[in-house]
Structure 1
C-alpha cells in the first residue's frame, strides 16, 4: 500500500471535478466547495484569537492536495487580520507545483520533522491519515495471521501469512470466526505521537477530518477508487488510489498520553453546521443568485448523511493550555 500510493501520488494530480465528470479519480471536500476551507479558516482564527499565545502561530497542512483548502482558509483568516506562515507537508512533485501556484509563499516539507519548533502550530489533516498504509490481520483456523500480498496466476491477491500474529490483535477482538479482519495503521499512530509531542511543547492544535471509526473494530476497510468508482485494490498497483478507514481512537491515544485535549470525533455534517456553514451558504446564495442550485448542491454534498456528512468525522487534539475548539458542541 505504501509503495503503491507513493508512486500514485508522485505521478499525477488525482483530484477530479466534484461531479466526477472531468478527470481524476476522486474528489475531496475542499474541491467540492470553497465553503469547506472557509469554515476551517474560521475554526483556526477563532482558536488562535482565544489562545493567549496564539497570535504568532504557523498554519500547517498535511497532504494539502492542490492547496485549495489552505487558500480558502487563509482568505477567511485574513478577515480577522491573521496572516500566518504557511507550511505544507507534501512529497508529490506534481501536487507541490499546484500548491505553489495557489500559495507562492508556502514553505514545503517532506515530513513533519522540519516544521517550525519556535511557535504554536495549527495543523490541518484533511483526508491525510486514510492514505497511510494499514496492516491487516485475518482470523484463521490456526489462529491470527498477518494478511500479505501474494500472486495467483497473473494477478495479485491477499492471503494469510505463515507466522502466528495473535499478539498483534487487541485481546478484546481475538475471539472471531475464520475470515474476520482487524486493521492497524502503525504510521498513523507514530505521526500522531510526533504531532502530539509538538503541540504539547509548542502550543496549538491538530484538526483531523477523515472517514473512519472509533476502534478497536473488526472489518476490512481497504478500498480503491479509480475514475470515481470503486475498484479492486490489488489491480494495477500504483495506478489507483488506495485508502483505509481511520481509527480515531488509535490516533487519540498518544495525544491523551501527552495530556492534550481530545474533542470529537463527530460527524462532518454536524461539525460544519455548528461552525455556521448554513449561514455561509445562504450568504453566498444571496450574493450569487445565478449559482443558487450549485451552492445548495455543494452544501448538501458536504453535510448530508448519504453524502459526506456522516461518513467523514472531525476530531481535534489541542494543547492543554489552549481553549476548547469550536464546532464540537
Structure 2
C-alpha cells in the first residue's frame, strides 16, 4: 500500500523524502509518555441531570455559582510544615480563601502553568534529563514527515505566497527545527512561511529560539509578538501566549502535537445522586485529597453538551468521565480561523475516538506518580477526546471538514516514513542506523520491539497505535493527505 501511495505522490514529495541526510547526532531515545489507563464501556450518561437547554443554557452565556456549603471546610491551621513548596502553599491558600475545594482543572492549570512555579514555566522538561520524551525527541524523521504533510497541504491550498505556520506548545522546538531542515531546499514554500510559536514558558521560548537558529531580538516575554528570523530558512518567527494572538488574515496551517493532552480536565464521578464533579480539598492532616461536589458545578454544562454527542450505551458502565472545556474552546478558535482565513490543522496526541473515562496521570522522571504528590514536580496529562473535537468542529463552521482520527502508524506510513528511513540508512554509521531503527519502531510500532537486544528497561515501546492523528481543514482544500 505504501509503495502505491508513494508512487502517486508529487515530485516535490519524493525529493523531500530523500533530500536531507541524518543529523550528525541523532535524537536521543528514551521512554516517552506512556499511558496505562483502562476503560470500561458505557453508562447512563447524565443521570439525575436535566437534558433541556432551558435548564442548562450554553456555557458561553451562563455563569453558575458553586454552592460549597456541603463540602468540607479545612480548619484554620492547615498550613502544615514550612517544608511545603511555594506552589503547595499557593494551592492551599486558594482553597482556604474560597472556603472550599477547587476543581481538578484548576489544580491542573496551576500545577502546569503557574507563573512562578508551574511545571512547564521555568525549566526544560523534555528529553533524557527531563520527565518525558515526545515523538520529535525520538527521531528526526517525525518532524520531517510533518514537513511532508505541511507542504502537501500548502500545495492543495494553491501555493499561497504567504501562509502562517503555527505550532501550539512547541516544547524545545525540535519538531519545527526538523521540519524546516527537511523543507529548506523548497524556496517557494520557505519564502511563503511565517512561523508562529504559541508558548507560555519563557524558559522554553529561549530553547526554541536556539533550536530554530534564530537571529535578531531574543524571543522572550518582553518581545512577545515581535519577529526574529530563523536562519534555517530565513523565515520570520514570532512568539505568542495564545492562539488568539496569532495575526489573522492569512491562510494558516496549525500543528498541535501533544498539546491537547496538557489542557486541564474536569473529572466527574458517578454517585448515588448522579454525576458529581471531583474536587481537590485539604484534609485535617494538611494533605490534598479528592472530594465530590454535592451539586451541579459550572463544568456540568460541558458534561451535558458532551452527552448530546454520545449514545447512552457508550457510557452505561462508566463510573468516571473527563471533560475538557479548554479543548472545546481551543477547537472553536482553530475552526473559526480556518473557516474564515483558509488552511488546516493537524492534531496528534494520545487519546480515544470516544468519551474518556479516568485517564488523568502524573509523570515524573519517566515514571508514574500520584497526581496529588508534590504538585509542580510532575507532568499532568489526560487522554484527548477526539470524538468531542470532531463533533464541535462540525458544529462551529460549515466551511471546514474533519478527517480521522487514524493511528499515528497509518498517518506516518502513508506519508512515506518507510522510504525516508531507507534513504537515511544508506548514508549513516552503524550507531546511527541502530538509532534510526529504534526511533522508527517507537513512532510506528506496537508494543515491545522484537529486534531489541539491549537491557530490558530500555526496550523500545511502539506508540504507533496509541497516538492518533486528526485533520481539520477548510473545505476548499478537499481531502488532505493521507486521509
Match in the other structure for 1:189: 328
Q: Which of 6, 11, 15 does residue 126 from structure 2 map onto?
A: 15
Correspondence 1:288-307 to 2 at 5 A: 288-290=428-430, 291-306=432-447, 307=462
| RMSD of equivalent CA atoms | 1.7
Kindly indicate whether residue 174 of structure 2 is the aligned counterpart of residue 94 of structure 1.
Answer: no
Structure with higher Rg: it is 2
Using a 3 Å threshold, how does the CA distance of structure 1 residues 173 and 182 change in structure 2: closer, same or farther? farther
| Distance in 2 between residues matched to 1:309 and 1:189, nearest whole Å | 25
| Distance in 1 between residues matched to 2:412 and 2:385, nearest whole Å | 21
Correspondence 1:47-196 to 2 at 5 A: 47-52=153-158, 54-81=160-187, 82-83=189-190, 84-103=193-212, 104=214, 105=229, 106-152=237-283, 153-164=285-296, 168-169=303-304, 170=307, 172=311, 176=316, 180-196=319-335
- TM value normalised by structure 2: 0.64
Aligned-partner SS, 1:242: strand
Match in the other structure for 2:469: 314
Match in the other structure for 1:20: none
Q: Which one has a larger percent helix, Structure 1 or Structure 2?
A: 1
Q: Which runs of 5+ in 1 are unaligned?
A: 18-22
Using a 3 Å threshold, how does the CA distance of structure 1 residues 164 and 119 change in structure 2: closer, same or farther? closer
Contact 1:51–1:323 (CA under 8 A) maintained in structure 2: no
Q: Which of 280, 283, 286 does residue 420 from structure 2 map onto?
A: 280
Contact 1:47–1:323 (CA under 8 A) maintained in structure 2: no
Kindly indicate whether residue 401 of structure 2 is the aligned counterpart of residue 261 of structure 1.
Answer: yes
Where does structure 1 differ by over 4 angstroms across 4 or more consecutive aligned residues?
171-177
Q: Which of 111, 114, 117 does residue 4 from structure 1 map onto?
A: 111
| Distance in 1 between residues matched to 2:403 and 2:182, nearest whole Å | 23
Q: Which one has a larger percent strand, Structure 1 or Structure 2?
A: 1
Aligned residue pairs total: 321
